[in-house]
Structure 1
Amino acid sequence: MGFEVNRFKSEVDDELICPICSCVLEEPVQAPVCEHAFCRCCITEWISTQPTCPVDRQAVTSGQLHPVPRILRNLLARLTISCDNALFGCPLVVNLDSLSTHLKDCEYNPKRPIPCEQGCGMIIPKDELKEHNCIRELRSIIQSQQTNFNAYQQQISELKFIMNEYKRELTLLKDFMRAMRISNPAMRAIADQMERDEVVRWSGTLAPARVTRWGGMISTPDENLQNIIKRSLSESGCPPHIIDELMENCHERRWPPGLSSLETRQNNRRLYENYICKRVPGKQAVLVLHCDNTHIGENMMVEPGLVMIFAHGIE
């Protein structure tokens, strides 16, 4: 649908009128052979029911339409037109090619979004301002958010139920594998491999870490500090079958010979650089897992790995 002719302040040439809607062309396109021009919207709708030119009935499809010549576009651009919001008081008359820019900021636009100054600060259309009630609108928003919140809670409850079912099934599977491992040597090897694979997968989820100050190592962490690290490991997805053993290995009494005393640690400090370390999430601590450090000698490594806690110096 084009622009109504009576909105223009000068006479409009017939070549600028759409034969379908009898208005001034809007987004004009033309047929390829006869070169008749139409509003894009008008001719597209026309062709959807009868693929012919409405003027001379020559066959035409939407894919054959193309923009009108520049001279026709320039003639349209120079026409002067009243604002769409003239009925609401806008006195401006602008060139047709400037109309869309003006309408974005026209202060007479009844749908122009403006902030409520009565206290709620909501952005609402100008023509709805008189009927706007802050309390009613805010109550409506709160009710809508409460509905969404209840729906989210329901989804969370359902997901928790599904997760608990998965955990229960996983526990049953692990119990079964443990029983089979005891009674069947072949199953014992399979179960051991599954557990090793689980550790490798978990290690792949952890961020790499670099120790910049090995002197900040805490070799005898107290129980509270160990519980903090254990909680972090559990939240990171540490396989349950190794978490207790890892935590026992965070104290120097369980460290390998190359780390068993302050003297040996000082002598072997150059070997620390060969460790592949993973970050204990959110803590000044690293994991040196056996699966990541098969290149390290037995005097510097234990199964399933080491937990090293630091006062500082972790990147």
Structure 2
Amino acid sequence: MKHLSYFKWLALAAIADWFISRTVTRAAIHIPKTSTMITIYAVVNQAGQIIGTFTALLTLALVGWLAWQNRHTLWLSITLTGLAGLSLLFLVVVPSTRSMLIYQLLAATVTILILKQREEKPKKLWWQWGQLAVFFPATALLAGLLYQLLPNFYATMNWPGPPPLTGTLFHLGELFVIGSVCVWWWMFGRTTNWQIWVISAVPALFFALSFWHDPAMTGILTIWSTGLTLILPWPVYTVALWLVGVTVLVTWYNQPLIAYAVLLFVAAGYTPQLSTQLFCALLGLWLLRQQMSWSQEGVNLVSPTKYRQQVAI
């Protein structure tokens, strides 16, 4: 795949932007306010802004590329182009409630169209179960989009609000986020390599210690960073974070599209707030669907180099 390296750089840039701009800098309230620490914070914050700008430009370019690649799938190409166009328009025009509603409807449409992209169903049971790896994150993304969309729809129609069941819809989507992680690990990330398990445990252990030290602040930072509200017991999120790390490390070389997709979903967070975050989620969903299609065709590669040699788009 000629463009595989671009998705790799996007995944790395997006996760760096998430870690720096939406996690580390927001946790800066806990650092001492010495001149040295303030200088370090300013440098880190500036680096986050540069990485964030690079991520935004690359996501926009890849969404445009994806629209062109799917030009024979008319509706998907049109909706992707519409999303990219509105994203650029909103840089100079403050979006109205109606325009945001259109934007969110386009995003939901793209999600459904990617989800519905199917090849001829093979007889292999593992592939059929593997569709859950696409269905779960797509459902979580749709739930988040509907949660954002319904208030705008009510406002456009001049109906009294708030819309019913939006809270239930939000929490249901959060359950599908956790379910997505479990499905990804079960389908792609199971391993007996103890080194991978130990390395992946580091961020999970850090989260557990942070929650044990200050559960309220950890909950606030988690909402800011990922959009998750921690409605489930905190050990569930600790294990989920652990499994994310395991899945990424296991698939980084033998199924890199899975690793890139998982990182893009982490960077996007639940209920993406910015166009860049939404584009990361949509591109991640497309990568998952692409991986399932190639797996069906017997493409089983062990490195990005062999990926580029055997698959060309």
TM-score range, shorter chain: under 0.3
TM-score after normalising by structure 2: 0.19
TM-score by length of 1: 0.19
Greater relative contact order (Cα < 8 A, sep 6+): 2
Higher strand share: 1
